[in-house]
Amino acid sequence: MLNQQIVLAARPHGMVKSGDMALHSAQVPNLQVGQLLVKNQFLSVDPAIRYWLNAGTTYIRGVEFDEPVRCFAAGEVVASRNDEYSVGQWVTGLLGAQEYAISDGVGLARCDPTDGPLSQHLGVLGMPGMTAYFGLLDKGQPQAGEVIFVSGAAGVVGTTVGQIAKIKGCRVIGSAGSDEKCRYLVEAGFDAAFNYKTEDTDAALKRLAPGGVHIYFDNVGGDTLDAALLNLARGARVVICGALSQYNESAYAGPKNYMKILTARGILTGLIVFDYAAQWPAAVRELAGWLREGKVSTREVIEPGLSSFPDALVKLYQGGTFGKLLVSV
Amino acid sequence: MLNQQIVLAARPHGMVKSGDMALHSAQVPNLQVGQLLVKNQFLSVDPAIRYWLNAGTTYIRGVEFDEPVRCFAAGEVVASRNDEYSVGQWVTGLLGAQEYAISDGVGLARCDPTDGPLSQHLGVLGMPGMTAYFGLLDKGQPQAGEVIFVSGAAGVVGTTVGQIAKIKGCRVIGSAGSDEKCRYLVEAGFDAAFNYKTEDTDAALKRLAPGGVHIYFDNVGGDTLDAALLNLARGARVVICGALSQYNESAYAGPKNYMKILTARGILTGLIVFDYAAQWPAAVRELAGWLREGKVSTREVIEPGLSSFPDALVKLYQGGTFGKLLVSV
């Protein structure tokens, strides 16, 4: 049986290009004992993919040439020689940009179809939702009445952070890169949103949060992080989740206003979502409940066909899309 | 009665120069009800003075022209129309670079002569000692067996941090800017010290703390902070106390490796020592006990005469001196 794959063709430098990836066909090998075969239905197009395409990183190895591009995917088990998985089950995991993936089950998550459609298990019910949930609730420790600022807010993580913060009684401000995204955030329940491309972030925060920001949830780093540091309320928590503005840069810009952490009597911290793996099932259940009640919502953009994956990844960094970006296989 | 003062003559740009200050004589005014007169005996030459000489800052106003340079001083009450202070008492506070200071008592600390000599109430028994004590114990939360790295370690804060960490059963590494300072640190009880001018900080930490650093106590910022971030142990606490390498710069360099806080599952925090004012007396008592037992020691450099203050301040930033730098009035 033939397996279509999107593989790494050239090591990207700076901004990733679609030509760094190529479509490739390979034979699906026979299953060994302990393995299962997943037919991928959705590929998740996430910021971290660019990071994994580097030659080597601190906590995960880089993707090799002619290897499928590493990404999360959701699919159905179509064959199994692993006692813990049976045909017909829904699973998600780092299954790669390909039609079929062989797995030994390690790192795979089983999805409960009653929680929501398969695609949502890659978004609000998957890693992005978990990142929002534990990043905000465990690292941010939101208290009712506090002000939360979320950058990159139109992504699944950002929108979900804002919506959970609303459930906890906070005032929520988001920033995004277009007026359309800002309108979407207000519809999604944010108290305010501003377009960082047309309004200076420091000025916007002074306008929208004159008493300062109690939690800054940082998806972007760079100038936005520096502006947020100028606007911390006393006791603020800065939760570093990502640095979308920096992933395509060879060296990160450090937050030059980091001494504001002291004057605010604050802390800067961050999260590695995999540390919470044992608590994921309970968090998925709570998020599924909020989805059903309409307190949390999600926006999906689905690009059709495996071959659309390289362009979708480029589009992600260009900021032209928002919500959860998926490729249907 | 004439009062000799060192006043601000020119707003410094970049590195402070002795010409930015001038010797000046003024009449000591008569005491109003509620005021007391202090005869300063020692002036404390501290890194923060440069910061106060800027036009305006976030949490304290800048020193004005012809105003005595703001600094901590220790002296004796020589006249009092304030019921809480009587003649002969020892006090410390922001009394300024001058022979005589008038105070309404706000912000003044009374010193107990049985705790140690007057000069030490500006050092290990004063603000630097308090900074070390609360920065390490409250913000750093040292556990026996952990590795502590202190930069700017030959200053009073740094040496005291290291000595308290030894009392708590930690392994202590310090960095300083000369071999002489490093020898002093080892004599003061540090397990190891390195000269950051002759050995790369990242290389030194990999050599001396191969398992990583659990607490980094940062007095200097800049490249040292970035190197420390590359060498954090899991769960590390980065305690920002100062940024000596940056005070004379117009814009601070941000820590470009700040994402290492995430991968280390660490936090970055800092301290404002005045927040602990209510707990100072108990901390002074504990430090005085450690001084008597020889577990904490201190090195003083005393420049003679009020007029030596400008040169002493310049010398502080040039790193030519170490220990507690004082001017005797």
Nearest CA in chain A to B239: A262
Same domain, B133 and B264: yes
pLDDT, averaged across chain A: 93
Same domain, residue pair B269 and B242: yes
The predicted model scores a pTM of: 0.87
What share of chain A has pLDDT > 70, as a percent? 96
For residue B223, give the chain A residue with the closest CA. A254
Q: Does B65 touch chain A (CB under 8 A)?
A: no
Answer yes or no: do A219 and A175 share one domain: yes
Q: Quick one: B267 and B218 in the same domain?
A: yes
Interchain CB distance below 8 Å, A253 and B252 = no
Whether residue B97 is found in the same domain as residue B210: no
CATH of the domain at A180: 3.40.50.720
Q: Is residue A293 part of a domain?
A: no
In a domain? residue A291: no
pLDDT at residue A42 greater than cutoff 90: yes
Q: Is the Cβ of A252 closer than 8 Å to some Cβ of chain B?
A: yes
Per the domain annotation, does B282 fall within a domain?
Answer: no
Distance from CA of A59 to the nearest CA of B (A): 8
CB of B268 within 8 Å of any CB in chain A?
yes
**Shared-domain flag, residues A134 and A159:** yes
**Cβ–Cβ contact B254 with A under 8 A:** yes
> Are A43 and A95 contained in the same domain?
yes
pLDDT confidence band for B151 (50 / 70 / 90): very high
**Nearest-CB residue to A272 (from B256, B263, B272):** B263
Q: Please report whether residue A56 resides in a domain.
A: yes
- Provide the pLDDT for residue A57: 58
Q: What is the enclosing helix (H) or strand (E) of A148?
A: strand A147-150
Q: Please check whether residues B15 and B102 belong to one and the same domain.
A: yes
Strands A147-150 and A2-8: unpaired
Residue A288 included in any domain: no
Q: Which of A253, A262, A269 sits opposite B256 (nearest CB)?
A: A253
Per residue in B182-214, pLDDT (tens digit) is 999 999 999 999 999 999 999 999 999 999 999
Tens digit of pLDDT for each residue in A174-231? 999 999 999 999 999 999 999 999 999 999 999 999 999 999 999 999 999 999 999 9
**Pair A119, A198 in one domain:** no
Confidence band for B159, pLDDT divided at 50, 70 and 90: very high
Number of separate domains in chain B: 2
pLDDT value of residue B184: 97
Residue B218 belongs to some domain of the structure:
yes
A268 close to B (CB below 8 A): yes
Q: Hey, is the C-beta of B203 within 8 angstroms of any chain A C-beta?
A: no
CATH number of domain containing B52: 3.90.180.10
Residues of B in contact with A131 (CB under 8 A): none
Which residue range is the domain that position A186 belongs to? 129-274
Residue B249: pLDDT above 90? no
Whether A114 and A138 map to the same domain: the answer is no
- Asked whether residue B283 is assigned to any structural domain, the reply reads no
Cβ contact B256–A252 (<8 Å): yes
Q: How far apart are CA A201 and CA B250, in angstroms?
A: 22
pLDDT at A247: 64
pLDDT in tens, B55-87: 865 566 889 999 999 999 999 999 999 999 999
Quick check: is A289 in a domain?
A: no
E strands, chain B, in order: 2-8, 21-27, 36-44, 73-80, 90-93, 100-103, 109-111, 147-150, 171-176, 192-195, 213-218, 232-240, 267-270, 300-304, 324-328
Q: Are residues B149 and B267 in the same domain?
A: yes
Confidence of residue B14 (pLDDT cuts 50, 70, 90): confident
- Asked if A234 has any chain B CB less than 8 Å from its own CB, the reply is no
A57, A141, A256: best to mutate for the B interface, most B CBs within 10 A: A256
Cα gap A119→A74, rounded to integer Å: 7
Enter the ipTM.
Answer: 0.84
Say if residue B106 is in the same domain as residue B192. no
Q: How far is CA B173 from CA A197, B138, B145, in A?
A: 45, 20, 13
